[in-house]
Amino acid sequence: MQKNLATIAELESFTLDFDPSAIFLFMSPSFKNKTGFIEILNEKFPDTIKFGCSTSGEILGNRVFDGTVSLTAVHFEKTSLNMAEIHLNDFNQDSYQVGHELYKQLEADNLRHIMVLSDGLHVNGAELVKGLQENSPETVTITGGLAGDAADFKETFLICSKYIKSKRVIGLGFYGDDLKIGFGSKGGWDSFGLERLVTRSKNNILYELDGEPALELYKSFLGDKAKDLPGSGLLFPLSMRGDDNKTPVVRTILGIDEKEQSLTFAGDINQGSYVRLMKANVDRLIDGAEKSAEVTKNSIDEDCQLAFLISCVGRRLVLKQMAEDEIEAVNTVLGDQVYTTGFYSYGEIAPFKKSTPCTLHNQTMTITTFSE
Amino acid sequence: MKQNYHRLLKRQLKKAGLDKENDPKLDGFLALVDQAYHEFNADFSHLENILEMSSQELYSTNKKLKNHVEAITGKLENVANNIQEVIFETDLTGNWQYLNPAWEKLTGYKVHDCLGYPFSNFIENLDERDRVILNKLSQGHIKELNEIVTARTRDGEKKWLDVSIKLVHDKENNPTGYIGSIVDITEQKNIQLALIEAKDKEMKANKAKDEFLSTISHEIRTPLNAVIGISHLLLLENPKESQIENLTALNYSSEHLVGLVNDILDFNKIESGNIVLEKSIFSLENILKSAESTFGSMAKEKNIKFYIEQDNPLPTCLIGDSVRISQIITNLVGNAIKFTEKGSVILKLEQLHRNQNTLKIKFDIIDTGIGIAAEKQDSIFDAFVQANSNTTRKFGGSGLGLAICKKLLQIMDTNLSLQSATGEGTTFSFTLDLEIHNGSSTKKNGAKPEISNLTALDGISVLVAEDNTLNILVIKKFLSKWKVNFDIAENGSIAVKKASQKNYDFILMDLQMPIMNGYEAAKKIRQSTNPHNIDIPIIALSASPPADVQNDIRKYGMDGHISKPFDPIELHQTLKRIKSLSSKIL
């Protein structure tokens, strides 16, 4: 059962003809009376897991909303669920330790999958993924994303059953042998211009490219849009390639520091790696989303029943009025039977495809499907 | 129509006649279109900016690269144009593709006349070997090559060239040609050849020197032989009191002269590396006895003491070069006595290690003589050096003795060491590693009797083969004195004849004689039909050092050797031994 709600009042008349195992909620930061909404929901479904986060756009079916809540109530027949929540401050905001602890709390013999949602501003997504994967066997897959807040970069939040909280990482464990999980993650961005050597960086902060201040170079390419930084940085990710010539990963800007002339990214920028600026056009982004759906569909044998679409806010800023085209493209591939929900995010977590390790992505359409 | 609509939208609405419409539904739609137009413009200008920035960046990067390439090319060109070595490129069949200006300097051919033509047109008169090697190049059989070849320049000048060639490949690893260098090494080669020639000359000169020394020493020894012999004889013939002193001085001086000649010959031999150590059974005990007898009387004359100290009895027989060991001991003890005016000289033997088969023995020659100052101790072992020039005047000697001892011991893998201080005496030490022979010694060196006490040897008959009249005179006198029957043969041929006609007890054979030398004569005598001659003792009489002739003497069937100028005592002992042998047989 899925519903998009624009106001709290719409929740009053909300009823279900089944007993849900979990209610997935993707909520706009501008939604009025968020706490009130959760309270009402808790009254109606006191024993049901409520799992979700703030967004830069709510996805439901073929549509993208702003200022609403996308609600999807799901009953799993054969799969059991368990939710865990970690406060970033408990680990001194050490994302790696947080990931490590989250896995520990969800770990069990029949654990099949972890869906992880994280604060979008105070977490190093790459480290979080490393920590999560540290002890997880290959049989456990991990997907998820970083919460968004339109494109404001002010405050993101997580919905963990009875509360709405910031600076948290939450995980939902899926247990049981009957669950079929599919996933895929594709971008559709193009690199352009010269390859530049990262001459100074620390973790996810980039200071210098080819010995020159990184911010200055970055701004020169943004042109007029430089004044809208860091929001406009979403339009201008970097592709990063290590020495090992693996598939380059895309990195999105989260913030800038004029004094330090530095840029803060959603994942690590390694010193000694090579980066190129990226650009996108509408057609190629939509193609990218379609390819991501194809990878997802090919990763399992049967039709999926439920799909989570986590797409980067940067894509939405490029697609603008055409954002729904990428959702439609995905749904066309996945088929009519699927229930689709999700959100525009500040970062996506998934393997590129089956049997590759899970990584943090930016600027991708990342899809996770379930069936049992 | 809203006034702030996009310019294009306003134009389109006007053209469609919709600019006057006031429909809220249409307004909503137009707002979306307007937004899209504006956003499109913004995106477009963004892209234009990217294009502009990228173009600028590419332009400046390209310019930088160009400058960089020019700078490097300039540098390389500068290097290639100014180095002495030829740098070249050829295609796969050996046609010149590039040559630097050094080529023209080396060969006289202009670079532009050579490019495109085969290398073989310009490297002429190759040796057959060089041609075969370089032809491999044009057949594509070479990956890497470094050869020295000779070739002629345009003017026909012969050059030695060090040629390095390497096959080069394109990105797909297909061979594209060769690169390499040619270095003119003619000058080095000429120096090398000159050095070889010089060395050859030096070797020839050395050989001439050796031959000269050998000849001159023979020439010196022959008359000395006579001088010594006659002085011995005169001393035996009751000289007047006033003559004794002169004769003794004459005798001493001539013996000293012989010692000097021997030292010089010996040293020369060691220096030129011609010495081979003998490995034969000998008795160290006998060498010690001989030393005791010789040096005991010498010490007595100087009123000092000489004695030998031994920690343990020695093995009866050892294996080594007894002549050289004896020479070292004699030299060191002789020196010690020479430089000691009062006190004593001790020859001390210490067996450091001994088992069934080997013996490590330490020799110390300890004197209480004048000693050697610390600053002189290093140079004392150098040839022709004595502690100071006064030493030569006072004590005599060639200054070669210690150098010879040291070198001989080095050849025996050991060393001669020295402990001394001025006025406190000197100790020379060395150790020897000797094999023990578990059997009996062949040589017996008994104590020497005095020359005046020599007994008559009547009853034995001796054939003396000797061509030098002076030597004949001396030998005649001694043999007559000892009542020996003898015949003289003036050359080898006569000796052979005489030996076939008469049965002698003993033959004394000079090695260097006219018509037939001593070796040939000995051989013929051994082969003669007279059965007596098969085992008759034949002793070589030679001015050459014993070590030089020892092998040949055995080869030609002779039994021993007496050095000229001969020691009458040694000759007497030899004859006496033969007499006792023959009397036993009789």
pLDDT tens sequence across B70-84: 999 999 889 888 898
pLDDT at residue B393 in the model? 47
**Residue B45 with chain A: CB contacts under 8 Å:** 223-224
pLDDT in tens, A66-107: 999 999 999 999 999 999 999 999 998 899 999 999 999 999
pLDDT of residue B390: 56
CA dihedral of A186, A187, A190, A194, whole degrees rounded to 10: -90
Confidence of residue A54 (pLDDT cuts 50, 70, 90): very high
The reply to whether residue A279 touches residue B50, judged by beta carbons under 8 angstroms, is: yes
What is the predicted pLDDT for the residue at B389? 52
CA B263 – CA A174 distance, rounded (Å) = 107
Q: Is B404 a residue whose pLDDT tops 80?
A: yes
pLDDT of B395 strictly over 60 = no
- Which candidate in B41, B49, B59, B61 is best for mutational testing of the A interface (most A CBs within 10 A)? B49
Quote the pLDDT of residue B546: 67
CB contact under 8 A, B46 and A225: yes
Work out the mean pLDDT of chain B and round it to a whole number: 83
Residue type, B385: V
Give SS3 for A50. strand
3-state SS of A138-174 is CCCEEEEEECCECECCCCCCEEECCEEECCEEEEEEE
For residue A350, give the 3-state DSSP assignment: strand
Number of C-alpha atoms within 13 angstroms, CB side, residue B65? 6
The answer to whether residue B57 neighbours chain A at the CB level (below 8 Å) is: yes
* Minimal C-alpha gap between A350 and chain B (Å): 30
Whether the link from the prior residue into A230 is cis, omega within 30° of 0, is: yes
**Mean pLDDT to the nearest integer, B403-430:** 89
Reported as a pLDDT band with limits 50, 70 and 90, residue A167 is very high
B55 at A interface, C-beta within 8 A? no
Comparing A197 with B554, which gets the higher pLDDT?
Answer: A197
Task: Read off the pLDDT band of B514 (50, 70, 90).
Answer: confident
Residue A344 has pLDDT above 60, yes or no: yes
CA proximity to B267, closest of B388, B177, B144, B397: B397
Beta-carbon separation of A220 and B50 below 8 A: no
| Exposure class string for A36-55: b at 16+ Cβ within 10 A, else e | ebbebbeeebeebbbbbbbb
Supply the pLDDT for residue A41.
Answer: 94
Phi and psi at B282, nearest 5°, equal -150, 170
Work out the pLDDT band at B442, boundaries 50, 70, 90.
very low
B53 touches chain A (CB under 8 A): yes
pLDDT of residue A245: 58
Q: Is the pLDDT of residue B444 over 50?
A: no
The pLDDT, as a whole number, for residue B372 is 85
H or E stretch covering B218? helix B186-236
Tell whether the model's pLDDT for residue B391 goes beyond 60: no
Nearest CA to CA, how far is A265 from chain B (Å)?
21
How do residues B179-192 score in pLDDT, each as one tens digit? 999 999 999 999 99
DSSP H helices in B339-429 = 389-395, 401-411
Q: What is the pLDDT of residue B443?
A: 44
User: B545 pLDDT exceeds 70?
Assistant: no
Interface test with A, best of B46, B47, B59 (most A CBs within 10 A): B46
What confidence score (pLDDT) does residue A103 get? 95
Number of A–B residue contacts, CB under 8 Å: 37
Mean predicted lDDT score pLDDT of chain A: 91
- Name the closest residue on chain A to residue B60, using Cα atoms: A194
Does residue B398 register a pLDDT over 70?
Answer: no
A238 near A267, Cβ under 8 Å?
Answer: no
Contacts with B55 from chain A: Cβ below 8 Å: none
Contact B508, B476 (CB under 8 A): no
CB A54 within 8 A of CB A154: no
Q: DSSP E strands: which ranges in B137-236?
A: 144-152, 158-169, 175-184
Query: Which residues on chain B are in Cβ contact (under 8 Å) with A224?
Result: 42, 45-46, 49
* pLDDT over threshold 50, residue A23: yes
pLDDT higher than 50, residue A155: yes
A141 band by pLDDT with thresholds 50, 70 and 90 = very high
Task: Tell me which residue in B39, B53, B58 faces A221 most closely, judged by beta carbons.
Answer: B53
Q: Judged by CB atoms within 8 Å, which residues 8-47 of B form the interface with A?
A: 32, 35-36, 39, 42, 45-47
Give the global pTM: 0.53
pLDDT tens digits for range B40-96: 888 888 888 888 888 888 899 899 999 999 999 999 889 888 898 999 998 888 888
- For residue range B461-474, list pLDDT tens digits in order: 899 999 888 788 88
Q: What pLDDT does B247 receive?
A: 79
Which segment, A239-253, B185-199, B320-334, B464-478, is predicted with the most confidence on average?
B185-199
Does the complex come out with an ipTM higher than 0.85? no
From chain B, pick out residues whose CB is under 8 angstroms from the CB of A234. Answer: none
For B29, the token pair is: 């739609």
